[in-house]
Amino acid sequence: MKRALCVALLTLLMLCFGLPAFSRGQEEEILEKKGTIKIWVGWSLLMDVFDKVEKDYEAENPGVDLEIAAFKLRDFEQKLAISIPAGQAPDIFVTSEYIVPQYIETGYIAKPPKEIVSFVESKYDKLVQSVNRFKGPDDVKPGIYGIPHIGIARVIYYNKKIFRESGLPDRAPATWDEVFDFGKKAARYDAQGTLERGGISLRLFGGGSGIAEKFTIKLVQAGGTLLGQTADGKWKANYDNQAGVDALSFYIDCLHKYKIDSFEIKHDSDAFINGQTAMFQRELWPIPIYKSKAPDLEFGTSVMPSSKKGGTAYSTESAFVPKSCKNKTLAWDVAKYFNQPVYLKQWFETQGWVPPRIDIDYSDIFAKTPEYKSAFQFPEGYLLALYPPLTPVDEIYTKFAERISNAFRDSSLVDNPAGMATILKKAANETNQILKDNGLFGEGKVVKPTWVEAPKDIGYKF
């Protein structure tokens, strides 16, 4: 009787004072909009919109202070690694699905209330939901832990002017053979034969896991994946095979056989905007930079060229709330607030930060920037390589990247499949040892690679 009376009084108070609540099972936690919420992100370009989020939320909720900080990505990941286990994490952080499993599986991340889970399941595309289900220490099955903020496939960029001047068609290469052919025709050398303008810019150095991710793109096109599941549901390296040799051969041929890329020239987005490479592969974030800083740059984007298969890498980032957060209901309210259409569309249009909400009409953005479309319109049978939801996946990717980036410099690997196989076998032994150390190594053949077939309709409104 007393419990029923208390519930009735609580409900009356909520109705009278307009206090929303988040439910957790049979309990209800009242959302009191007072206090400070700290937010960390690993991408400084997001801050233009986050500054508006901060201003708007604080204007609507004068009792709340938002402290939003952005860091360089590797610094951000290191700060998380120190602060989360120490109970000193921010109230919200936005990170990738290859970073967060280590914190969820060890019980450091709060489960969202049912209302947030329902919000994600009703507003976000099925693909991003599928790769954002994780299993905590008390979970019977994987579930939603965060609010997705981006979901993006990598595309290939090509310089239309360079292609035109090189006698190439106004389209990206469709196959690896065309990559080599187009690259040789687009490359430019000085009198001594030194490469001055690359035919293609490959990811050769930089953040470790990024090197492995870009290698995975070629690996999936060759029919492999970095990791794969065995029949017992565990994992092992899936690149010490012909697919791995073919993927590594692609890099070796570009660098040492056809000499359409080099360690000695500028790379990636900076090289492309300055006309120092004809092609490179990336997410969509360079597009608004090119539109604003180099409006005369003629470029196009396309799905990736294929070999045995067609495919690319796909990843997401989501907003998570750690258990150390003192006011979780307020934190979830803030995370849901900055995932409103008005902010998501601004991130998409101005930063190429692709929101995976499917209840928003993006047709105005796609009409203004058609180069975005190639990340959503997939051909039949196109594959998306995913990060496996494993605690040591970042360690695996980082250590693999160290080995493979050293192999890129070895010109003796040209037309040397046995040499490449030896390097990949040593790397796979290291990968498998990490899996063994974490109780994740599987025996036998890989029966399930870490790719999915790209959805024919991802749900975005063009």
At residue 459, the pLDDT reads: 63
- What pairs with residue 188 in β-bridges? 197
What confidence tier does 31 reach under pLDDT thresholds 50, 70, 90? confident
| pTM of the predicted structure, to 2 decimals | 0.91
Q: For residue 116, how far is the Cα from the chain centroid? A: 22
Cα angle 77-221-252, degrees, rounded to a multiple of 5: 80
- The string of pLDDT tens digits covering residues 142-179 is 999 999 999 989 999 999 999 999 999 999 999 999 99
At residue 208, the pLDDT reads: 67
What confidence tier does 10 reach under pLDDT thresholds 50, 70, 90? very low
Sign of the alpha-carbon dihedral angle for 75, 78, 82, 85: positive
Structural domains in the chain, CATH included, are 31-151+316-371 (3.40.190.10), 155-313+374-453 (3.40.190.10)
Q: How far apart are CA 290 and CA 351, in angstroms?
A: 11
Q: How far apart are CA 75 and CA 79, in angstroms?
A: 6
Query: What is the rounded average pLDDT of the residues 27-31?
Result: 67
| Residue 443: half-sphere exposure toward Cβ, Cα within 13 Å | 0
Is pLDDT above 50 for 77?
yes
At residue 456, the pLDDT reads: 76
Is pLDDT above 60 for 22?
no
